[in-house]
């Protein structure tokens, strides 16, 4: 997907060892469809050469406000006017302190000061030693820069180049990319709390075996990412899947349907939206054996009794918050035929305002899908697209249906 197609960035590098990550970030932005103009401070040039950044961005790098390549000799004006955002990565503690005071004694800080603020957002990716990061001066500066309209991206935690361990590392390039893509998404769900179930459940037969299904969790994880991008506070209750948690999302890992219900019900008490994408096992073995069930030599398989699992979606949709219109519930239906008729019937049976139908076997594990949205007014077909694109569209449709405050 080219989530940054048509976007142009000024990528500013200030002095810090994380300059080496800026090279990878530049490539990541370009791979996602953006164009990048690199601007480096003198200190940044101590860590990585302009030659590297020129080769990666396919444009000459700027480093001086006296650069005569610009006909009017005003690179700070010309370059910032073309940009959709100025991204300073790494942003050193010193560079933040400069920005805070509106200093403009070299090209990058001059450009940040001279940018047209409403049109050209300023994104800062801090990078520094843990003591510098936790210093009250840095924390104070960040608060003031936020108040002045800058967006401060997070920092990572871990082993630092100086040999110490703690907060203040620059985020990894792909983490930054995810945050930058999110920054440009419309904030349909700002201030809302969204709860999502995803993946299969695992129902134990004995300590080493169980029954499960082929759900990959990809659709639920994509919805979690899209809801976070849209400004929501997102909790994702995930069955056993091997997917990366989307950035900024709180994840609760569970195994069985009963674990999933136990994690979901209290979270639903605080949520505004509940999206049930999990492929919950309909039945579980009635008794889980304490020890591994062994072959007894008779050639006969052991008889297994099954009991029905709780229906998480129906339980939550019948709760007081949903009934009072404070929790908007969305169900999924994976059908193998008669999608619309089955989805309509399921919507009524589960008692939810919106049900999303898809053809089950075709979508399990895939990166794309096609959906049909069914509500009281009728059906809406959403053509095949990546699960993330579909998730963004679904989030917008959910937002339209939420009660207006």
Interacting residues toward ligand C5P by CB under 6 A: 197, 257, 276-278, 280, 309, 311-313, 331-333, 346
Are the C-beta atoms of residues 314 and 350 closer than 8 Å to each other? Answer: yes
User: Distances from the Cα of 115 to the Cαs of 80, 315, 373, in angstroms?
Assistant: 6, 52, 43
Query: Degrees (nearest 5) of the Cα angle 218, 220, 221?
Result: 65
Contacts for 38 with CB less than 8 Å, ≥ 6 apart: 10, 11, 12, 13, 26, 50, 53, 54, 57, 59, 61, 62
* Distance of alpha carbon 199 from alpha carbon 242, whole angstroms: 10
Question: What tokens appear for 94 in the block?
Answer: 């010193």
Neighbours of 174 (CB within 10 A): 13
Of 390, 280, 397, nearest in space to 333 by CA? 280
- 26 is an active site residue: no
* Distance of alpha carbon 22 from alpha carbon 173, whole angstroms: 7
Give the chain's end-to-end CA distance (angstroms, integer): 34
Contacts for 49 with CB less than 8 Å, ≥ 6 apart: none
Q: How far is the CB of 308 from ligand C5P (least distance, A)?
A: 8
Are the C-beta atoms of residues 26 and 12 closer than 8 Å to each other? Answer: no
- Which residue numbers are catalytic? 162
């Amino acid at each position: 997907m080219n989530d940054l197609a048509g976007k142009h960035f000024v990528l500013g590098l200030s002095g810090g060892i994380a300059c080496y990550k800026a090279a990878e970030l530049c490539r990541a932005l370009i791979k996602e469809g953006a164009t990048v103009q690199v601007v480096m401070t003198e200190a940044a040039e101590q860590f990585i050469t302009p030659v590297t950044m020129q080769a990666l961005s396919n444009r000459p790098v700027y480093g001086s406000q006296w650069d005569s390549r610009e006909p009017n000799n005003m690179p700070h004006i010309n370059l910032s006017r073309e940009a959709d955002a100025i991204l300073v990565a790494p942003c050193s503690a010193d560079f933040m302190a400069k920005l805070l005071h509106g200093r403009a004694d070299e090209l990058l800080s001059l450009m940040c000061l001279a940018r047209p603020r409403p049109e050209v957002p300023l994104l800062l990716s801090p990078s520094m030693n843990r003591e510098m990061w936790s210093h009250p001066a840095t924390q104070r500066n960040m608060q003031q820069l936020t108040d002045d309209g800058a967006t401060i991206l997070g920092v990572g935690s871990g082993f630092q180049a100086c040999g110490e361990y703690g907060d203040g590392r620059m985020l990894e390039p792909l983490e930054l990319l995810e945050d930058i893509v999110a920054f440009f998404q419309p904030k349909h769900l700002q201030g809302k709390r969204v709860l999502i179930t995803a993946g299969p459940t695992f129902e134990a037969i004995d300590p080493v075996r169980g029954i499960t299904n082929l759900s990959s969790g990809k659709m639920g994880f994509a919805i979690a990412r899209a809801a976070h991008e849209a400004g929501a506070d997102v909790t994702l209750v995930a069955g056993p899947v091997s997917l990366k948690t989307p950035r900024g999302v709180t994840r609760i890992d569970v195994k069985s349907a009963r674990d999933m219900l136990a994690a979901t019900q209290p979270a639903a008490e605080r949520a505004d939206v509940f999206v049930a994408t999990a492929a919950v096992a309909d039945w579980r073995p009635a008794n889980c054996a304490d020890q591994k069930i062994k072959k007894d030599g008779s050639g006969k398989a052991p008889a297994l009794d099954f009991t029905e699992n709780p229906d998480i979606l129906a339980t939550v949709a019948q709760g007081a918050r949903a009934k009072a219109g404070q929790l908007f519930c969305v169900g999924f239906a994976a059908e193998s035929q008669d999608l619309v008729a089955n989805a309509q019937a399921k919507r009524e049976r589960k008692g939810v305002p919106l049900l999303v139908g898809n053809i089950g076997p075709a979508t399990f594990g895939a990166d794309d899908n096609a959906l049909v949205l069914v509500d009281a007014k009728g059906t809406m077909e959403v053509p095949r697209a990546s699960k993330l694109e579909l998730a963004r569209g679904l989030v917008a449709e959910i937002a339209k249906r939420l009660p207006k405050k």
